[in-house]
């Protein structure tokens, strides 16, 4: 719980100085630290997670290389590849063609130093607000690693951008990862990320991914999460879509520890489209609660959710599919399907379709 968060403003300031962060970013950290202690936890229908270890105070950077993984890191075969071990960026590579188009794929803290004018307008301002709940505030206060991807206007990337994130559970350290992707007008990219962990120490993972799709942008986003049993994880992936933008999500939730996940797409622009495909497997005694929401704010916006899950052993898997059509979003379309397959008598599964319709002349089902 947030009251157990013992990190001090002085510790955050020291970490910020170590990372050479701009003043506005440190100010955001310090304000978020206070908010984390005041705001409530998010609500996930039919999932009790209030006793989980989601607030860890160790922010420090572990600089030791995880040598057993080095041999498994190939050269980039797509547009670019970035690898982070714990809180350290270990590998960054981009092909010449991609670099010549002024595409950025880089460590978040390097981006804060070199391109603050590109990061500041989007970092926890549009997709995921800092003050949404105690976990988003904790994230803003404690973020210790991440990446920034920027695709300029009219740039179409044919190859994939890859990222590989490894949580280091051989030390006591929070894994607070932020991925910020900005796709400018009429740009297009495909992005694949993988999360995993090594070691057996019990740590927290707090992961927020923000995808900003400007007018006419197209983003194909794929992820596979395989964090280990010692990790209690909060995973928030959210898209913010402007006029005629499209995000296609393909998410594989294969973790071994307890997980709450919040996958949202905010259809802010007319004609924007989000399609969310989620596959999850629960095992052992783990609990996984997944909220997948698409909110239609604009006319002719389209939001589709498809969730399939498999439940093994004595685990619990809950899917909440939420389609919300805001008043004024005429001719919007919200569709969803959630299914779970229980392969064990001791397992428990829920698939909860939720529709909130505040406008006429729409389609939903």
Question: What pLDDT, on a 0 to 100 scale, did the predictor assign at position 90?
Answer: 79
Chain segment 63-104, per-residue pLDDT in tens = 444 555 554 544 444 567 899 988 888 788 888 888 899 999
Q: Tell me, yes or no, whether 99 lies in a domain.
A: yes
Q: Is residue 18 part of a domain?
A: no
* Structural domain contains residue 207: yes
Q: Binning pLDDT at 50, 70 and 90, where does residue 354 land?
A: very high
For residue 343, is it within any domain?
yes
- What pLDDT was estimated at residue 102? 96
Residue-number span of the structural domain to which 65 is assigned: 56-129+142-364
State yes or no: pLDDT of 246 exceeds 80.
yes
- For residue 355, what are its two tokens? 């529709």
**Higher-confidence residue: 180 or 95?**
180
Residue 280 predicted with pLDDT over 50? yes
Task: Summarize pLDDT for 298-319 with one digit per residue, the tens.
Answer: 999 999 999 999 999 999 999 9
Average pLDDT value for the chain: 93
User: Residues with Cβ < 8 Å from 100, sequence gap 6 or more?
Assistant: none
pLDDT 10s digits, 20-70: 999 999 999 999 999 999 999 999 999 999 999 899 999 876 444 455 555
Is residue 29, in this structure, part of any structural domain at all? no
Q: Does residue 27 lie in a domain region?
A: no
pLDDT of residue 70: 53
1 in a structural domain: no
C-alpha R_g of the chain: 20
pLDDT, position 2 = 64
Are the C-beta atoms of 69 and 51 separated by less than 8 Å?
A: no
224 has a pLDDT exceeding 80: yes
Q: What's the mean pLDDT in 245-261?
A: 98
Query: Residue 174 falls within a domain, yes or no?
Result: yes
Q: How far apart are CA 74 and CA 1, in angstroms?
A: 39
Query: Which pLDDT value is given to residue 3?
Result: 62
Domain count, the chain: 1
Q: CA-CA distance, 287 to 260, in Å (whole number)?
A: 8
| pLDDT reported for residue 18 | 93
């Amino acid at each position: 719980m947030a009251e157990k968060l013992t990190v001090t403003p002085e510790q955050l300031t020291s970490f910020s100085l170590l990372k050479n962060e701009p003043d506005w970013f440190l100010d955001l950290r310090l304000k978020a630290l206070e908010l984390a202690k005041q705001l409530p936890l998010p609500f996930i229908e039919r999932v009790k997670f209030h006793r989980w270890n989601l607030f860890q105070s160790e922010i420090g950077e572990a600089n030791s290389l995880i040598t057993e993984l080095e041999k498994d890191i190939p050269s980039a075969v797509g547009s670019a590849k970035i690898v982070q071990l714990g809180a350290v960026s270990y590998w960054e590579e981009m092909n010449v063609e991609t670099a010549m188009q002024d595409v950025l794929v880089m460590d978040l803290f390097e981006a804060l130093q070199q391109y603050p004018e590109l990061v500041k307008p989007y970092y926890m301002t549009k997709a995921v607000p800092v003050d949404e709940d105690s976990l988003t505030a904790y994230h803003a206060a404690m973020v210790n690693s991440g990446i920034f991807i920027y695709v300029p206007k009219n740039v179409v990337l044919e190859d994939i951008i890859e990222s590989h994130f490894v949580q280091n559970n051989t030390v006591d350290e929070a894994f607070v990862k932020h991925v910020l992707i900005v796709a400018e007008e009429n740009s297009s990219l495909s992005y694949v990320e993988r999360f995993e962990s090594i070691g057996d120490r019990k740590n927290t993972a707090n992961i927020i991914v923000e995808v900003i799709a400007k007018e006419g942008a197209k983003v194909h986003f794929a992820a596979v999460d395989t964090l280990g049993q010692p990790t209690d994880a909060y995973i928030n992936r959210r898209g913010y879509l402007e006029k005629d933008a499209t995000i296609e999500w393909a998410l594989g939730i294969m973790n071994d520890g307890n997980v709450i996940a919040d996958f949202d797409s905010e259809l802010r622009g007319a004609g924007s489209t989000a399609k969310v495909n989620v596959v999850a497997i629960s095992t052992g005694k783990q609990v996984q609660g997944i909220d997948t929401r698409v909110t239609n704010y604009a006319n002719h916006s389209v939001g589709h959710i498809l969730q399939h899950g498999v439940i093994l052993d004595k685990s619990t898997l809950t899917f909440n599919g939420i389609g919300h059509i805001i008043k004024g979003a005429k001719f919007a379309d919200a569709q969803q399907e959630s299914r779970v397959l229980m392969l064990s008598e001791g397992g428990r599964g829920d698939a909860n379709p939720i529709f909130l319709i505040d406008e006429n002349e729409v389609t939903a089902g």
